Chains A and B, each alone.
Chain A
Amino acid sequence: MAEIVAAALAAHAPLITGRPEVSRPEQRDRLYAGFHELGRRLAAARPDLLVMFVNDHLQNFAYNNLPAFCVGLAETYEAPSPGGAALMRLTPRTLRGRPDWAMALLEAGLEAGVDFAYSYDIESWDEMSVPLSFLLPGGEVPVVTVYTNCAAPPLPAPRRCREVGAFVGDFIRARPRAERVALIATGGLSHWVGTPQTGCINPDWDHWVLDHVTRGDVEPLARLTWDEIERDGGNGGQEIRNWIGLLGALPGAKGEVLAYEPVAEWITGCATVWVQP
């Protein structure tokens, strides 16, 4: 039987790798250490597959077609692409997808009433490339993506993200083959991007979120409204939908915060969290 052998929550922001020199060294070192520790634990769990809860930043889905939830069926992911690599100062590389696995998830979802959209061609940005540069330095494990609309409101309700995550978790555990699956959710915590408050970070809200993650208490997060998140966590804070999805897949699982740094220069409250499955 398939099992979930590892789970991690991590910030994504292009500047984390793209402009390391502008951050305060002690903050950068602590955050990078958190990323590297996630990478070590992930490698020790020997996953066969990474299932990623991530979000688009309008590079794939524009206002003529905006799925709430989309399963990636891509054969490969450029993570990053040569263009994105310059911005994020990463080496361009191609990661393998698992379209067969993703198709099974998609079909099971549609059968069960989880009406995923799907895409055979996904352009990944920092949502995959930046955290995976630490978590999967060798790029040897294939990935499946579940994209949730976190960037172009109206957005799916956090409670629905939790339900979709729960479906993904149940799907994995019901797989008949022996597979070792790791879950990774990226994004958050508080940040304001492109709004009049650009550059703000709200560490109080970030700690509130992390406290609930640490206790495995997802319900208050799943009850959040778009307005509450926008007010306290900013438009970038809406990305905690990815975290809520992952936590939905692992009911009762508790997080261990390896690092939290509100990095003003990267305009993001950045966290790395291990979740014991």
Chain B
Amino acid sequence: MIPVSYALNKLLTAVARQHQMKEAFTEEEMAGHDLAPAERAALKAGDIGALYELGANPYLIRRVFRRRFTI
């Protein structure tokens, strides 16, 4: 099993449901979310590989960070 981060998936689900796409997250957009420091850093950097390793659902990564993918 891959790790699952509820905090990451909760935030990404909320963004995905508003049909928003992001290159990266700002501190303001992450405010109020109970994210670990590594999760916060990965969102801020738009690091899709790190987000996957930290337990973000890849379908949500794909939807929110679509422009980060080369294919």
Binding site for B on A (CB under 8 A): 57-59, 62-64, 83, 151-154, 192-196, 198-199, 226, 230, 235, 264-265, 267
Contact = CB atoms under 8 A, between A and B. Distances in A.
Interface in B39-67: 48-49, 52, 57-63
Nearest to B56: A194
Interface residues of B, number: 23
Given A62-B13, A198-B71, A151 B6 contact: no
Contacts of A63: 4, 6, 9-10, 13, 57
Contacts of A59: 16-17
Contacts, number: 57
Main secondary structure of the interface of B (DSSP, over half): helix
Contacts of B62: 193-194, 198
Contact of A198 (B16, B19, B69): B69
Given A58-B57, A194-B62, A153 B13 contact: no
Interface of B: 1-2, 4, 6, 9-10, 13, 16-17, 19, 48-49, 52, 57-63, 69-71
A226 B70 CA distance: 27
B69 A58 contact: no
A273 to B, nearest CB: 24
10 contacts: A58-B57, A63-B57, A64-B10, A153-B1, A153-B4, A194-B63, A199-B70, A199-B71, A235-B58, A264-B71
